[in-house]
Amino acid sequence: MKSDTIKKGISRVGNRALLYATGVCSRDMQKPFIGIASSFSDLVPGHIHMRGLERAIENGVYSGGGRPFIFGVPAICDGIAMGHAGMRYSLASRELIADEIETMAGAYSLDGLVLLTNCDKITPGMLMASARVNIPTIVVTAGPMLTGHYKGKRLDLVHDAFEAVGRYKKGEITKHDLDELEINACPGAGSCQGLFTANTMNCLTETMGMSLPGCATSLAVSSRKARIAFDSGERIVELVKKNIRPRQIINKKSIYNAIMVDMALGGSTNTVLHLAAIAKEAGVKLPLDTFNRISRKTPKICDLRPSGEYFLEDLEIAGGIPAVLNRLKEELNDNPTVSGASIKSIARSAKVYDEDVIRPLDDPYKEEGGIAILKGNIAPEGAVVKQGGVSESAMTFTGKAKVFDSEEAAMAAILNKKIKKGDVLVIRYEGPNGGPGMREMLSPTSAIVGMGLSDDVALITDGRFSGGTHGPCIGHISPEASKGGPIAIIKNNDRINIDIKKRRINLDLTKKEISQRLKKWQQPKPKVTAGWLSRYAKAVSSASKGAVLEA
């Protein structure tokens, strides 16, 4: 066992003495040492119930014949960090999480890992770590939140809290309604109820085979989730004994499957960043155009919030990810999973229990998948749009630019009703380097939707969008403004043409005019000059490469 490095031999008397101090007994020295990386936090709704899941995993590890050790990793709730400088830390934390798990697994020569995660950047950070350290690993995602309720309607965070701000400013709802939505939208533990980044990544984790079947959609408050946690603890010991490692599971085939399921579900655009980063750690080349290729031939068969009307609890009742895999079974690459069953065998044995929540391939909600990659003179390296959340009328959009050099400036203009039909908001200097940290723009996009402008105003940015975003919103524009990308030289009233079907985004200027403006452009001073974010900004790559650290 790998852990023999710290527990076997006469030279390890001191090491063993310290292990005994933790409560380890002599019998444990013969067992696999299993690290449980827990992202428990009292600050994250999706993680507040993890203490119980930690116990279930521990019990499973003991039952399987291993010795568990819990250690913590940081956890950021994007919703709480949204709309202010705190969001700069979210994407950056993905790298910290991967580094911390690598550090703990390496320092303690752990034999295996159980990764307890749920929200936003924590799941991709843990998957990156699993591919990097490449010791037997299983992921437990802690489950989606129940829907809220108010006046007989089901609620979710984005539609009924973030977007409610715009509806209130428009005069559609009263202050009393706004207060009631605020307190009722999120009724308790779990990742937010729609197909936002957290739930999208959890679904793709199961699709890639890194968590047990049913894990992604089993509800946070369910006993089923506790049983899956226990089974995962037992299973990791078996994975250690058989030496089944993440890179046998996370490979070109499983990443292709994950993109396909992402397209079928209509998931968050953040997955483009995260799958690219996970692929890099697994040694898999993943060109950005792969997303377009798969999207063109994969219909969107689910209609989940934010752009649809169903919730994650509906997907769970309809059969979960195994049922989605069943719809796609003929197109899937077969591949092993941590459960011991192949992904195709899981797909074949699954059933769909609601034909509208998970539609047949010949009766989809949309003919193409949920995400598209756009290119053009604004985004030579690419940009990302959640086309599954864009109405047919807004798939092509031409308008005049309204340019803002920060999210805060754009948000003030929206709430002060300075944005009109036909405008294209340009929010720049919010990329991985310039932000730094590539902030999500859920507050501006939600305000636009809430004010009834979702089909009449476009938004483009070198920042990111939450999984909760819908409408003609194009993010990840690369190269970013702070690196001298063409988005940096857009001026107010410049004409911008967006054609999602043709995968194009262009500034209505000649090459000569763009070149002349770029020659005059001057790089601004960094927004952050000290601390972790300053170091992050210097090392982070373009969004087109997954915004990974290159130094």
Q: What is the CATH number of the domain that holds 299?
A: 3.40.50.2300
Same domain, residue pair 416 and 302: no
Same domain, residue pair 237 and 295: yes
Residue 3 lies in a domain: no
What's the CATH number where 411 sits? 3.50.30.80
**Mean pLDDT per 10-residue segment, the chain (551 residues):** 96 97 97 98 98 98 98 96 94 98 98 98 98 98 98 94 91 96 98 96 98 98 98 98 98 98 96 98 97 98 94 98 98 98 98 98 97 98 96 96 96 93 97 97 89 93 87 96 98 98 98 97 95 97 97 71
Same domain, residue pair 252 and 344: yes
Residue 158 lies in a domain: yes
Tokens at 492, concatenated:
């107010």
CA distance 525 to 541: 18
Same domain, residue pair 211 and 107: yes
Residue 451 lies in a domain: yes
Residue 263 lies in a domain: yes
Same domain, residue pair 237 and 212: yes
Sheet architecture: strand order including 112-117? 67-72, 33-38, 112-117, 137-141
**Tally of domains within the chain:** 3
Residue 99 lies in a domain: yes
Same domain, residue pair 158 and 224: no
CA distances from 202 to 63, 160, 281 (A): 26, 23, 18
Last residue of a domain, one of 128, 158, 184: 184
* pLDDT recorded at residue 450: 87
Of 220, 204, 213, 181, nearest to 313 (Cα)? 220
Q: Per residue in 481-508, pLDDT tens?
A: 999 999 999 999 999 999 999 999 999 9
Give the long-range contacts of residues 347-353, CB within 8 A, separation 24 or more. 347/322, 349/322, 350/319, 350/322, 350/323, 350/325, 350/326, 351/319, 351/323, 351/326, 352/318, 352/319, 352/323, 352/326, 352/327, 353/317, 353/318, 353/319, 353/323
Last residue of a domain, one of 286, 315, 349: 349
Domain housing 42: 31-146+188-349
Last residue of a domain, one of 127, 160, 184: 184
Same domain, residue pair 318 and 419: no
Of 319, 294, 90, nearest to 203 (Cα)? 319
Distance, CA of 1 to chain centre: 34
Same domain, residue pair 494 and 455: yes
Same domain, residue pair 120 and 211: yes
Same domain, residue pair 139 and 228: yes
Same domain, residue pair 389 and 458: yes
* pLDDT recorded at residue 470: 83
End-to-end Cα spacing for the chain: 32
Helix ranges (DSSP H) in 161-251: 163-170, 175-184, 197-208, 223-242, 246-249
Same domain, residue pair 400 and 513: yes
Query: pTM here?
Result: 0.96
Q: Which residues are the active-site residues?
A: 466
